[in-house]
Amino acid sequence: MAIFARVSPGRLVGQLSNPLVTDALVLSLKTSAIAQAIVLLVGTPAAYVLATRRFAGRSLAIVLVELPLALPPAVAGIGLIAAFGRLGLLGGTLSSLGVQLGLTQTAVILAVAFVAGPFYLRGAIAAFEAVDQDLVAASRTLGAGRGRTFFRVVLPLARSGLAAGEALAFARGLGEFGATIMFAGSLQGVTQTLPLAIYAEFDLNFTAALAMSALLVVVSAALLVTLRLTLQWQPSRPTSRFRFALSR
């Protein structure tokens, strides 16, 4: 609220034409969208396996998945550099393939996914564990294979838990700072997301920093609300009646 008190709406809107601000906004939205898509696509099946299968090393896997939650972002940044950096563990392999990760958008996406992913995974594992296994069994005996059972029974029942987890992950990812600045740097238009731009402008143009902070608040709130509404949306009674009326 203090942010909105410091800057008038006119100046806030005025800053939207500042290329530094628009670059950062576009980059933040783009990298967040891609990073969250990766988190959902990789995290959902991984969480389902961790929630439903009992195998050796499962507890260890869960600890590893949750570890980034406890790590300071700076450590995550160092870790990413040590793994994917030019001189890192996989750096040699990557550069021989002609891939250079440091200081690129891919690096931003990787950092966001790495830091935000565990928030989604945690929520998703809990959501999948809460699905009654008798319902899964019932679906199978009714002729549905594993895949169909997952999409028609497990996913709809876990949906609100998944939405809550993804909302947290999204919020964490959008505000990502430490790991990104260390691993991807802060190049305007390439790796400078909103939080990085705020930090960069803090000394130079405090008004711009304020405007971007306000923008981040608005964007986060809007996206969180949209996400929750989209993922938690369930067919209402009148809608389902309509559907059955068609099928009769």
Partner 1 sequence: MALVGPSGAGKTSVLRVVAGLTRPPRGRVALGDEVWLDTARGVELPPERRRAGLVFQEYALFPHLSVHANVAYGAARRPVGALLERFRISHLADAHPRDLSGGERQRVALARALARRPEVLLLDEPLSALDAHTKAEVRGELAELLRELELPALLVTHDYEDAAALAGEVGVLVEGRLRQLAPPAELVARPRDGFVASFTGANLLRGRAQRGDGELTAIRLESGERLWSADEAEGEVGVVVYPWEVSVARTHAGQADSALNVLRGEIASVVELANRVRVRVGPVTAEVTASSAQRLELARGGVAYATFKATGTRLVPLS
Nearer to partner 1, 7 or 124 (CB): 124
> Which residue stretch of 59-67, 83-91, 186-194, 238-246 sits at the interface with partner 1 (rule: CB under 8 A)?
238-246
How far is 169 from 235, CA to CA, in rounded Å?
A: 25
Q: Which parts of the chain are beta strand (E)?
A: none
Q: Does 134 bind partner 1 (CB under 8 A)?
A: yes
- Cβ 248 to partner 1, closest distance in Å? 7
Q: Are 103 and 109 in contact (CB under 8 A)?
A: no
How far is 36 from 30, CA to CA, in rounded Å?
A: 10
- Total residues in contact with partner 1, by rule CB under 8 A: 22
How far is 114 from 120, CA to CA, in rounded Å?
A: 11
Nearer to partner 1, 138 or 225 (CB): 138
Out of 138, 217, 221, 222, the only residue in the binding site for partner 1 (CB under 8 A) is 138
Out of 8, 93, 232, 240, the only residue in the binding site for partner 1 (CB under 8 A) is 240
> Which residue stretch of 15-23, 63-71, 94-102, 233-241 sits at the interface with partner 1 (rule: CB under 8 A)?
233-241
How many CB atoms lie under 10 A from the CB of residue 218? Answer: 12
Burial of residue 242 (number of CB atoms within 10 Å: 0-12, 13-18, 19+): exposed
Q: Does 82 bind partner 1 (CB under 8 A)?
A: no
Out of 99, 132, 221, 233, the only residue in the binding site for partner 1 (CB under 8 A) is 132
- Cβ 235 to partner 1, closest distance in Å? 9
* Amino acid, single-letter form, for residue 102: G
End-to-end CA distance of the chain: 54
> H/E element holding 193?
none
Selection from 215, 211, 182, 181 nearest residue 196 by Cα: 181
* Amino acid, single-letter form, for residue 100: Q
Out of 140, 171, 228, 231, the only residue in the binding site for partner 1 (CB under 8 A) is 140
- Cβ 56 to partner 1, closest distance in Å? 19
Q: Does 157 bind partner 1 (CB under 8 A)?
A: yes
Nearer to partner 1, 153 or 181 (CB): 153
Q: What is the CB-side half-sphere exposure of residue 193 using CA atoms within 13 A?
A: 30
- Cβ 133 to partner 1, closest distance in Å? 9
Q: Does 203 bind partner 1 (CB under 8 A)?
A: no
In the complex, which residues of this chain contact partner 1 (CB under 8 A)? 132, 134-135, 137-145, 152-153, 156-157, 234, 237, 240-241, 244, 248
